Chains A and B, each alone.
Chain A
């Protein structure tokens, strides 16, 4: 199935007309996959940090695609850093499993370069699962919370 432009166009058209995010066609040893990034339903917004340290600002818009599967949607981290569930070591966690959340609500902190980056909810829903471990490192794109959208 050498790459045939017409076939490729056809696949792209199919993808466009469907609500699928990915089409994969396999024939003998050849494989073509066409995919698009899902529209972000839930993202994580970085807001102003609280600490100073004079370090470079790490503000930038988040466009981490929110992974969606049959189990709900996920809030992922737009930063490499350390995940904190509470505003201070002995403070109450921002959220617990079962809590209802609203857009703009702070869910956790990811610390990078001594800057405390608050991660906010972008949708309303319920926290179903907390996937980050308090005080442990997270990489870019790691899933932090599973949310059931209300």
Chain B
């Protein structure tokens, strides 16, 4: 077994990894930028190494600094968290070359699933129902031809994109002509890659994703779905498990399909397959995220599993302990992402946190990387805490989350808590009738 793990991340996910390590008796190394010298992950790890200035390209994204920190502390393995270097195959390869175990999939698996067009073709060949889409677009004339054969409206997406950025809904060939070159320039600037493609635009879909774990012995465990339709600017802010939109039969059928598909490619570590659910009840594969996700705790609560702990066991070569029958979700879990941002404009709100009291009580879990008297630096993600509740039913979980939000006091910065309260008070949310358009319609 590993003895020491370096966590190449910051904030709540770094703490989350430290917690699983500590419970397993593993020592931890935090890396941090200069501005994070007093951050919680820096203070709670067994050792902490300053790897660079606040600018993430010279600290949390700077591979030589992270590897050097692992070398001088004698770490055996590196957990990348999410974001930063978590989906960078060169980083995973460099770790391997330096004798460090990377806690995640193989570099080639990251490449396969990281490119969205390749991923869709692979998923299709593995028997997963996939969303209709095109190959990469060569130029504007090719784009018009491909859009017409796919049928308007279409969604223009960046192959290297993510986080909901760089997407355009187009209704006609005139709109394709108007947007194509700008989108290509934007994509090059944002993702360093100007490859674009079209997907069939689905009017009011739900975003449903399935959690998987694969070990190094060919076992695949499918751990049910998460409902992530509540999004602002295509970024998830509230997630739940299970989804009210899936029947037990749909869940077990899709789980079996995913298990077969991912066994065929021998997927290793945690991964998430994202689907759209259209109004007729069809699930179609959208993309695969080869890493742990922000919203993993809702799955942990309803499935009774430590996903980060399992990732570490898998990286260490231990086999998954598979249940005899597929697990069913127990009860209902909801997560609210608390962001340091304006609840209406979503403008970031970094600064000093003067007061910080998070909710407690039965069935409430808090994953956070900040504290009262600490600062939210402007250089990183605005996520400061995840408030997660677990209750026997969805109705009880909603009541518990409302209660938990009412207990939460965060002073000095603005947060999106008022927005969460509005979502939880909305009749359509209570009834489970919503799509990814929910927040746009709520704000309109």
The contact string, 1 if C-beta is below 8 Å from chain A, for chain B 54-83, is 000011000111011101110000000000
- In order of increasing CB-CB distance, the 8 nearest A-B pairs are A112-B68, A137-B72, A58-B64, A139-B50, A80-B68, A140-B50, A81-B68, A140-B52
Contact A113 B52, beta carbon cutoff 8 Å: no
B34 located at the interface, meaning its Cβ lies under 8 Å from any Cβ of chain A in the complex = yes
**Interface residue count for A (Cβ, 8 Å)?**
18
19 contacts between A and B (CB under 8 A): A55-B94, A56-B94, A63-B53, A79-B64, A79-B65, A80-B49, A80-B50, A80-B65, A82-B72, A112-B65, A112-B67, A112-B68, A113-B71, A113-B98, A115-B64, A139-B50, A140-B65, A141-B34, A141-B50
A27 located at the interface, meaning its Cβ lies under 8 Å from any Cβ of chain B in the complex = no
A60 located at the interface, meaning its Cβ lies under 8 Å from any Cβ of chain B in the complex = yes
Report the minimum CB–CB distance from B412 to chain A (whole Å): 12
The A contact surface, by secondary structure, is: loop
A residues with a Cβ closer than 8 A to B are 55-56, 58, 60, 63-64, 79-82, 112-113, 115, 137, 139-142
**Other contacts beyond A80-B69, A140-B52: 5, CB < 8 A:** A64-B53, A113-B64, A137-B72, A140-B51, A142-B50
A144 to B24, CA, bound (A): 37
A140 to B235, CA, bound (A): 34
Using known A-B contacts A80-B51, A139-B51, A140-B51, determine if residue A56 contacts B64 with beta carbons closer than 8 Å.
Answer: yes
From A137, which residue of chain B is reached at the shortest CB distance? Answer: B72
The B contact surface, by secondary structure, is: helix
| Chain B residues with CB below 8 A from A81, complex form | 68, 71-72
A123 to B125, CA, bound (A): 63
Report the minimum CB–CB distance from B59 to chain A (whole Å): 8
A8 to B323, CA, bound (A): 62
From B73, which residue of chain A is reached at the shortest CB distance? Answer: A137
B97 located at the interface, meaning its Cβ lies under 8 Å from any Cβ of chain A in the complex = yes
Contact A80 B94, beta carbon cutoff 8 Å: no
Contact B63 A56, beta carbon cutoff 8 Å: yes
A112 to B34, CA, bound (A): 19
